[in-house]
Structure 1
Amino acid sequence: MLLGQIKLKRIVSLSPEEMASDRGRAENQQIKEKALFECERRGPPKATTDQFKCGSCKQWKCTYYQLQTRSADEPMTTFETCVNCNNHWKFC
């Protein structure tokens, strides 16, 4: 502002991200990425069952959760993870 690079009218409309220093922007980006990773990693609550057999290790202990990934008139998609070998698969 003192050097005339930014007009006074522009300052009042700047977002907090635009006002941050380069270091502040980098830190904010790291925080956003970490929050997104944590959010994706946790995912929906999972239930444990012995009704599904892992195709990799042939064990019967799996966790699963269901999401509506397609239109409402389609069945839910079931996402499974083997507790033994951490193999992932899904089916409708």
Structure 2
Amino acid sequence: MLGTAAGDLAAETLKLGYLNSTLMFAAAIGLVAIAHYGFKLGAVTAFWVAYVLTRPLGASFGDWLSQPLTNGGLGLGTTNTSLVFLGAILALVVYLGLRRKTQAA
């Protein structure tokens, strides 16, 4: 719930919009990666900070896909957005499964 609240705070209350808040949280995760690889931020700290940031990132991205155009979204609705996420998850599972088989051979 905190992730959704943070995503909504950025997108709606601070009026950044869903796409901009998605990009902001993605950039924050990118900064964590830079801090880890470039400035030796500890792996455990980097993991947990990035993990926490994935929640508002996902909420903002999901809202951007599902909200109506008049609210700054793409207007796909919740069902179609869920299908998009399901398709992405299935594609990754199939890809990783096939990749693992080729590495084992």
With the length of structure 1 as denominator, give the TM-score of the two structures: 0.31
Q: Give the greater-gyration-radius structure (CA).
A: 1
TM-score, normalisation: structure 2: 0.28
Larger relative CO (CA 8 A, sep 6+): 1 or 2? Answer: 2
Structure number with higher helix proportion: 2
Higher strand content, 1 or 2: 1
